[in-house]
A and B are shown apart, each in its own frame.
Chain A
């Protein structure tokens, strides 16, 4: 191998050669670029000249003026001269091609016509005869884009040209120039058709105007598999379902692409006859084709195909194919195969409420409002529920919660088993919901029972009063008990706290000379003893005047001075006491006319009549509704309010409180009933003219006073001697906190006798 001596002289020669070659290269590029630039400039310049000429030709109209026509003819001659130059032809063709893309409508058609009129298509035909593939390709493109149909015959031979670019240009031109071009192409094409070319051909076909596609099944028998493939795609594109037999046969084609397209067509056109052949060839094909076949069977198949699919599920090795077979089975018969892997074992769910069986029955029956309906229970004590029957409980704010259902569900879960699944959010939600439901139901039960007056847990220690109070004399009368029982001396008395309070109060009142509690109560109460007395049992009435007011307590027998009372009543006519014009007064003092008439020996009024009227008028009081649901403490507070803001209607209401269950309420009501008119009198300054005063004492002003159970009460005396409510809070010894300020000037004379009977008369 000859050695190269790297001498400086040799290196210098090499450098010189490299510089010369580089210079020549850059010179060549410079010349080429310069030429291209000059050509482009010349092109643009020529375009500016020829462009308006083309515009003139495009928009020339037959109704043009003479001068326009002259100009038009002159331009045509000029342009023909220009077309003799190749460069000008090039420029003109380029103008035509540009404008063809930029304009539409009638101008576009005129442009193609002008192209032919100028004879430029002839130059394109000549280009097709060229040996240079660029010229041929450009010529075909010109003829195609400017839609020169005359070039169809010249272009046909190029569809099987050995050079691909010419072939593709020719195929597009053939299909585009004439409608029958697609048939010629499919008949004579010998070369493969690329996917891109197929898309372009389909695009050309889609844009053809008034194109009537041929029956592409004719090419399903082509020897060129690409033609068959393209024909199958055209079949599917144009929805030509007249090739079922060929499609079935093509399922057995060697080529997977053709098989795939054929199967797609079968599924698209619902070729049910292909099911058998698809099942027959199934085991020979690749997994991809198998999946396609199974998908098609799933769409077209029936129950008859289930055994085949199950066979595939059992025998197929490929997991994807097996899954597809299961999917196909479920598509034909939904729910045939359920998921089994990764499924945890659970007992069936029954939706049982976490309540005892009794509670469940009670609460659900209450909410349902159907107490006769018994919710069946399962063997293990669970409530059988039916999800279809959802009953809602709007009264307790449970709208939307299904609370009562009937009939067993297919799945039943025990409550304890639900507790085991701690991670299940749904179960936790159910637990919380059931707890809240229990609380709400318990509250509802308790509130309902309180309203019904039935003692429940918090008040069970209290005596249950379910009947109206019955005076002891009535009790004895109705049970024929010996009256002597009332005359027995009390050896040991069980006094309740209320009675103790009452006794203390009486003792204090007596010490200050005020009427006792019993007297005040008696003065306002129309005791049934009066009527008993009228009926011929005076002794009984007298002995039991104050008895039987409080159930469960035994009092000393009280004897009222009936003779004296009777005498006083006879002296006092009822009309003086009860103002007939004042309804309220008439109601309030219903007792006096009753007693008076009784004394006069007239027929007695019905016992309930005055009480009912009294209650009706009492209902007009604003305090009536408050008292209905109030407890004892609240009633006492409300009575204070009655005293503060009460009016004449409240007197009736206070009267109606005589029958209140609470002794404290009765006492306070009576005391307020007495003191309320006094308060009004003090406020008005004129005792006898205030409405409240008249309401209480009649229109006459009560000059003669009122006879209340044998006590004549004159208003001026009453107001003068009665002490304010603060006396209720005296010391237990009866001494005033400030005796000098509170002591009345004229104390009530009290003369308690040995039997405890008080006869008081106000001066």
Chain B
């Protein structure tokens, strides 16, 4: 949670245009979103802060979404909900993500409204 009572979300997406669009949509729904575009920056951010939720693309530079989940669950030992963004036909990676502890999965092309609903649902679970 941020100081103004908003949930702090971390969005890891290498496509800046899509990321900015999703950030805009999530912020419009009342979340505080921190956007990063590669795995290195995700790691750096997680060393400093612990978000309420992580939304990550699977295919990212330096550090894939699968490795990010593994890092979060097994290294940082964080119980943060993780939603995975992946293109269609990438079922094997999605299954691996779920094995490592991902909470949800959204396939691309992404519906921004659907993403907001899933984020709300995951946060309500906690």
Q: Which chain A residues have a beta carbon within 8 Å of chain B's beta carbons?
A: 44, 47-48, 51-52, 54-56, 58-59, 95, 98-99, 101-108
Contact A47 B24 (CB under 8 A): no
Contact of B17 among A95, A105, A108 (CB under 8 A): A95
Instruction: Give the complex CA separation of A56 and B21 in angstroms.
Output: 9
Q: Given contacts A55-B25, A59-B28, is CB(A107)–CB(B16) below 8 Å? A: no
The interface residues of chain A lying within 8 Å CB-to-CB of B24 are 52, 55-56, 59
B15 within 8 A of A: yes
Q: Given contacts A47-B16, A48-B16, A59-B28, is CB(A105)–CB(B21) below 8 Å? A: no
Within 8 A of A (CB), among B93-120: 108-114
The interface residues of chain A lying within 8 Å CB-to-CB of B17 are 47, 51, 95, 98-99, 102
A91–chain B nearest beta-carbon distance, Å: 11
Contact A59 B15 (CB under 8 A): no
Contact A107 B20 (CB under 8 A): no
B18 within 8 A of A: yes
Give 21 A-B contacts (CB < 8 Å), ordered by A residue. Answer: A47-B16, A48-B16, A51-B16, A51-B20, A54-B21, A59-B25, A59-B28, A98-B15, A98-B17, A99-B17, A99-B21, A102-B17, A102-B18, A102-B109, A102-B110, A103-B18, A103-B109, A104-B110, A105-B114, A107-B111, A107-B113
Instruction: Give the complex CA separation of A59 and B112 in angstroms.
Output: 10
Instruction: Give the complex CA separation of A48 and B112 in angstroms.
Output: 19
Q: Given contacts A59-B112, A108-B109, is CB(A103)–CB(B16) below 8 Å? A: no
Given A51-B21, A105-B112, A105-B113, 12 additional A-B pairs, CB 8 A? A55-B21, A56-B24, A95-B17, A98-B15, A98-B17, A102-B15, A102-B17, A102-B18, A102-B21, A104-B111, A107-B111, A108-B109
Q: Which chain B residues have a beta carbon within 8 Å of chain A's beta carbons?
A: 15-18, 20-21, 24-25, 28, 108-114
Q: In the complex, which of the residues B15, B25, B108, B112 has the most CB atoms of chain A within 10 Å of its own CB atom?
A: B112
Q: CB-nearest residue of chain B relative to A102?
A: B18
Per DSSP, chain A at the interface is helix
Q: In the complex, which of the residues A47, A51, A54, A102 has the most CB atoms of chain B within 10 Å of its own CB atom?
A: A102
A464–chain B nearest beta-carbon distance, Å: 82
Instruction: Give the complex CA separation of A95 and B28 in angstroms.
Output: 21
B36–chain A nearest beta-carbon distance, Å: 15
Instruction: Give the complex CA separation of A324 and B28 in angstroms.
Output: 69
The interface residues of chain B lying within 8 Å CB-to-CB of A103 are 18, 21, 109-112
Q: Given contacts A59-B28, A102-B15, is CB(A52)–CB(B20) below 8 Å? A: yes
The interface residues of chain B lying within 8 Å CB-to-CB of A105 are 111-114
Instruction: Give the complex CA separation of A107 and B112 in angstroms.
Output: 7
Contact A99 B112 (CB under 8 A): no
Instruction: Give the complex CA separation of A48 and B20 in angstroms.
Output: 8
The interface residues of chain A lying within 8 Å CB-to-CB of B114 are 105
Q: CB-nearest residue of chain A relative to B15?
A: A102
Contact of A99 among B18, B25, B113 (CB under 8 A): B18
Instruction: Give the complex CA separation of A155 and B18 in angstroms.
Output: 30
Instruction: Give the complex CA separation of A44 and B17 in angstroms.
Output: 9
Q: CB-nearest residue of chain B relative to A44?
A: B16
A16–chain B nearest beta-carbon distance, Å: 46
The interface residues of chain B lying within 8 Å CB-to-CB of A98 are 15, 17-18
Instruction: Give the complex CA separation of A106 and B117 in angstroms.
Output: 14
Q: CB-nearest residue of chain B relative to A68?
A: B28
Instruction: Give the complex CA separation of A541 and B18 in angstroms.
Output: 128
Q: CB-nearest residue of chain B relative to A111?
A: B21
A113–chain B nearest beta-carbon distance, Å: 16
The interface residues of chain A lying within 8 Å CB-to-CB of B28 are 59
Q: In the complex, which of the residues B108, B109, B110 has the most CB atoms of chain A within 10 Å of its own CB atom?
A: B109
The interface residues of chain A lying within 8 Å CB-to-CB of B112 are 59, 103, 105, 107
B80–chain A nearest beta-carbon distance, Å: 25
B85–chain A nearest beta-carbon distance, Å: 10
A195–chain B nearest beta-carbon distance, Å: 23
Q: CB-nearest residue of chain B relative to A103?
A: B109
A100–chain B nearest beta-carbon distance, Å: 8
The interface residues of chain B lying within 8 Å CB-to-CB of A51 are 16-17, 20-21
The interface residues of chain B lying within 8 Å CB-to-CB of A55 are 20-21, 24-25
Instruction: Give the complex CA separation of A107 and B109 in angstroms.
Output: 11
Q: In the complex, which of the residues A44, A52, A98, A107 has the most CB atoms of chain B within 10 Å of its own CB atom?
A: A107
Instruction: Give the complex CA separation of A44 and B28 in angstroms.
Output: 24
The interface residues of chain A lying within 8 Å CB-to-CB of B15 are 98, 102
Contact of B109 among A58, A59, A104 (CB under 8 A): A104
The interface residues of chain A lying within 8 Å CB-to-CB of B16 are 44, 47-48, 51
Q: CB-nearest residue of chain A relative to B29?
A: A59
Q: Given contacts A55-B25, A59-B25, A59-B28, is CB(A106)–CB(B111) below 8 Å? A: yes
The interface residues of chain A lying within 8 Å CB-to-CB of B21 are 51, 54-55, 58, 99, 102-103
Contact of B113 among A95, A102, A106 (CB under 8 A): A106
The interface residues of chain B lying within 8 Å CB-to-CB of A99 are 17-18, 21
Instruction: Give the complex CA separation of A658 and B110 in angstroms.
Output: 104
Q: CB-nearest residue of chain A relative to B85?
A: A102
Q: CB-nearest residue of chain A relative to B18?
A: A102
The interface residues of chain A lying within 8 Å CB-to-CB of B18 are 98-99, 102-103
Instruction: Give the complex CA separation of A47 and B17 in angstroms.
Output: 7
A172–chain B nearest beta-carbon distance, Å: 20
The interface residues of chain B lying within 8 Å CB-to-CB of A52 are 20, 24
Instruction: Give the complex CA separation of A56 and B23 in angstroms.
Output: 11
Instruction: Give the complex CA separation of A99 and B109 in angstroms.
Output: 9
A145–chain B nearest beta-carbon distance, Å: 13
B118–chain A nearest beta-carbon distance, Å: 13
The interface residues of chain A lying within 8 Å CB-to-CB of B110 are 102-104
Instruction: Give the complex CA separation of A101 and B108 in angstroms.
Output: 9
The interface residues of chain A lying within 8 Å CB-to-CB of B113 are 105-107
A320–chain B nearest beta-carbon distance, Å: 39
The interface residues of chain B lying within 8 Å CB-to-CB of A102 are 15, 17-18, 21, 108-110
The interface residues of chain B lying within 8 Å CB-to-CB of A108 are 109
Q: CB-nearest residue of chain B relative to A47?
A: B17
Contact B20 A101 (CB under 8 A): no
Q: CB-nearest residue of chain B relative to A60?
A: B28
Instruction: Give the complex CA separation of A732 and B108 in angstroms.
Output: 112
The interface residues of chain B lying within 8 Å CB-to-CB of A95 are 17
Instruction: Give the complex CA separation of A682 and B122 in angstroms.
Output: 94
Q: CB-nearest residue of chain B relative to A48?
A: B16
Q: CB-nearest residue of chain A relative to B112?
A: A107
Instruction: Give the complex CA separation of A175 and B119 in angstroms.
Output: 38
Instruction: Give the complex CA separation of A55 and B22 in angstroms.
Output: 9
The interface residues of chain B lying within 8 Å CB-to-CB of A56 are 24
Q: In the complex, which of the residues B16, B18, B21 has the most CB atoms of chain A within 10 Å of its own CB atom?
A: B21
Q: 8 nearest interchain CB pairs? A: A105-B111, A55-B24, A104-B109, A102-B18, A55-B21, A104-B111, A51-B20, A51-B17
Q: Given contacts A47-B16, A51-B17, is CB(A101)–CB(B25) below 8 Å? A: no
Q: CB-nearest residue of chain B relative to A104?
A: B109
B121–chain A nearest beta-carbon distance, Å: 17
A112–chain B nearest beta-carbon distance, Å: 14
Instruction: Give the complex CA separation of A99 and B18 in angstroms.
Output: 7
Q: CB-nearest residue of chain B relative to A50?
A: B17
The interface residues of chain B lying within 8 Å CB-to-CB of A47 are 16-17
B46–chain A nearest beta-carbon distance, Å: 25
Q: CB-nearest residue of chain A relative to B109?
A: A104
Q: Given contacts A58-B21, A59-B25, is CB(A101)–CB(B109) below 8 Å? A: yes
B55–chain A nearest beta-carbon distance, Å: 14
A433–chain B nearest beta-carbon distance, Å: 52
Q: CB-nearest residue of chain A relative to B107?
A: A104
The interface residues of chain B lying within 8 Å CB-to-CB of A101 are 109
A46–chain B nearest beta-carbon distance, Å: 11
The interface residues of chain A lying within 8 Å CB-to-CB of B111 are 103-107
Q: CB-nearest residue of chain A relative to B110?
A: A103
B31–chain A nearest beta-carbon distance, Å: 14
Instruction: Give the complex CA separation of A52 and B21 in angstroms.
Output: 7
The interface residues of chain A lying within 8 Å CB-to-CB of B108 are 102
Instruction: Give the complex CA separation of A98 and B108 in angstroms.
Output: 12
Q: In the complex, which of the residues A47, A95, A99, A103 has the most CB atoms of chain B within 10 Å of its own CB atom?
A: A103
